[in-house]
């Protein structure tokens, strides 16, 4: 399931974040890639221990926690600290699949990457190329979203970033461990949640709203335990 979430941050917020990122010291992005992924990765990343990385990551995490569409789509149990990257001068990231398990820095715990997320911090007219191409069970999806918009997709999908041939592409990216590991079940829960919201808006007093809500939470209770 691929879900686009427009306007996670508005233009003024993106400009503020970008101003800080453009002044930051960047590192070779291959340092954080797995053995195979490093062979097809050419970009720069903000080091995780950079003070700006932590500051902006906290800002992204706070906004995600206040975004109903993200919560409905990902059913987040844990979200790994968002990271930041830039692509220019033919920078790209070839076909790869994200690591299934990531260590959570400073905790000794780990996170299962059920859902991947990319937050666009450059508008499409600021660069050429750089499309995010996602291949999952429902086909191929290509995204070049407005700055401030987010796309979430299965962590199990094969995906890539096409070469950036003009300008600079700034993004934040992160992984979420969902309460429901199965992408098929997460999709059903997302569709059920949307149906409940529609029925509640059109017929707020109808008894089916309570019944559907009961079914939703009982499925969540059952599937989150597996």
In this structure, is the dihedral angle defined by the CA atoms of residues 159, 172, 69 and 125, taken in order, positive or negative? negative
Q: d(Cα 159, Cα 136) in Å, to the nearest integer?
A: 9
Assess contact for 173 and 113: CB atoms under 8 A.
no
Question: How many other C-beta atoms are found inside a 10 Å radius of the C-beta of residue 159?
Answer: 23
The answer to whether 110 is annotated as binding is no
The answer to whether 96 is annotated as binding is yes
Look-up of token digits 């890639």: 33
Q: d(Cα 83, Cα 65) in Å, to the nearest integer?
A: 17
CA-angle at 89, arms to 171 and 133, nearest 5°: 50
Q: d(Cα 210, Cα 87) in Å, to the nearest integer?
A: 48
The answer to whether 169 is annotated as binding is yes
Of 156, 210, 211, 158, nearest to 184 by C-alpha is 156
The answer to whether 92 is annotated as binding is no
Write the CB contacts of 137 (distance below 8 Å, at least 6 apart in sequence).
Answer: 183
Please give the annotated binding residues, written as ranges. Answer: 96, 98, 159, 169
Please give the annotated binding residues for Fe cation, written as ranges. Answer: 96, 98, 159
Please give the annotated binding residues for 2-oxoglutarate, written as ranges. Answer: 169
């Amino acid at each position: 399931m691929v879900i686009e979430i427009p306007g996670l941050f508005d233009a003024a917020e993106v400009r503020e974040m970008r101003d800080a990122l453009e002044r930051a010291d960047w590192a070779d992005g291959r340092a954080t890639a797995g053995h195979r992924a490093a062979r097809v990765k050419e970009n720069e990343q903000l080091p995780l221990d950079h003070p700006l990385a932590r500051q902006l990551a906290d800002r992204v995490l706070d906004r995600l926690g206040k975004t109903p569409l993200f919560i409905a789509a990902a059913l987040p149990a844990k979200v790994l600290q968002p990271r930041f990257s830039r692509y220019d001068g033919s920078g790209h990231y070839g076909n790869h699949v994200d690591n299934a398990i990531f260590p959570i820095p400073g905790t000794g715990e780990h996170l299962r990457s059920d859902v991947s997320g990319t937050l666009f911090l450059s508008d499409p007219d600021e660069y050429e190329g750089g499309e995010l191409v996602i291949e999952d069970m429902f086909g191929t999806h290509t995204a070049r979203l407005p700055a401030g918009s987010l796309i979430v997709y299965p962590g199990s999908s094969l995906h890539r970033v096409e070469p950036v041939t003009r300008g600079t592409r700034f993004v934040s990216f992160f992984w979420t461990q969902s309460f429901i590991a199965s992408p098929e079940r997460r999709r059903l829960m997302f569709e059920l949640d949307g149906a409940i919201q529609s029925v509640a808006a059109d017929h707020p007093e109808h008894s089916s709203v309570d019944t559907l809500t009961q079914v939703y939470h009982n499925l969540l209770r059952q599937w989150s335990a597996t």
